[in-house]
Structure 1
Amino acid sequence: MAADQQITLRLTIGEPVPGVAYSLQNKQGEPVCAVIAGEQPLSFDVQVAVAPGPRFLGDMVRREGPTRRFIYIAIGEQAGDASSPWNRRAKIDIHDLPAKLLEKALAGSVLEALLPGRAADGGPACASVRPLGPWKVVE
């Protein structure tokens, strides 16, 4: 694997809470690409650099410990909407992407995770959010 090859990850929230702001969150904790959710699924495409190891790098990639890498989706206040009743973020792990899918992403395919939109309280899903199924190649 060459150093710092780029891949695209698509994070799709299946049932976002309508009227709530969602965004990616960069390493500085700032919202990026904020949008207000409607009734339809909401997607964010994230560019990620992949170094040998593999190691995942980039402005949206956060780390915890020596191996855990993840991306935050900011919600409500954290997405820049100061008037929102929600102040949450969802943590989506990327360090455990299957090797076969990672190979396809390095060859130019987009990998997508379908994420739950709602938490048990009916508000936006937050904390460590697991995809509803396996990551897949976008056709």
Structure 2
Amino acid sequence: MAKAEQIPVPFRIVIAQPVAGVLHSLQAKDDLPLDPKLSQAGEPLCFDFPVRVAPGPKFFGDQVRREGPERRFVYIRIGQAAGDPGSPWSRRMKIDIHDIDPALLARAAEGGVLEITVDGTGKDGTPTCATVRPTGRRVVAS
């Protein structure tokens, strides 16, 4: 797909109620941690990154991963995977973006940030991992 057909859309992932003291990061294109952050007392963590959206919609960018012909997602690395060798956890969250409402994408492309919120703590009290369902998707002011 030609880059001329791709529209930049700012994305933000908010990890609500992360496990305190556990490092989180985006996963970079080279599979390394990017922008590591730590919650001291369970306050939300925010990760901002650009995504290019083409008709379809189709998603492109350094943080966008693919699985099959349709599925697109972003990884959040946790604990050891985020660069903390002393953490008891080495996990990743997989956050789907391929199923975002096209109307929401269009609103964000017109001058906002597409914010996706996920829970950071699982039912067992440990960091959430595997495929994580968003608790909210909205467009916020940039």
- Fold similarity call, TM over 0.5: yes
Unaligned runs of 5+ in 1: none
Q: What's the secondary structure of 2:94's corresponding residue?
A: strand
Q: TM-score, normalised by structure 2?
A: 0.92
Partner of 1:28: 30
Unaligned runs of 5+ in 2: none
Alignment of 1:76 with 2:79, yes or no, is yes
Deviation at 1:25, TM superposition (A): 0.3
CA contact (8 A) 2:38 2:45 kept: no
Counterpart AA for 2:12: R
Give the Cα–Cα distance (whole angstroms) in 2 for the partners of residues 100 and 38 of structure 1: 36
Q: TM-score, normalised by structure 1?
A: 0.93
Give the Cα–Cα distance (whole angstroms) in 1 for the partners of residues 65 and 11 of structure 2: 14
Partner of 1:108: 111
Q: What's the secondary structure of 1:104's corresponding residue?
A: helix
Give the Cα–Cα distance (whole angstroms) in 1 for the partners of residues 138 and 40 of structure 2: 24
Partner of 1:130: 133
Q: How many residues align?
A: 137
Comparing 25-34 with 88-97, greater Cα deviation is found at 25-34
* Runs of 4+ with >4 A deviation: none
Identical-pair percentage: 52
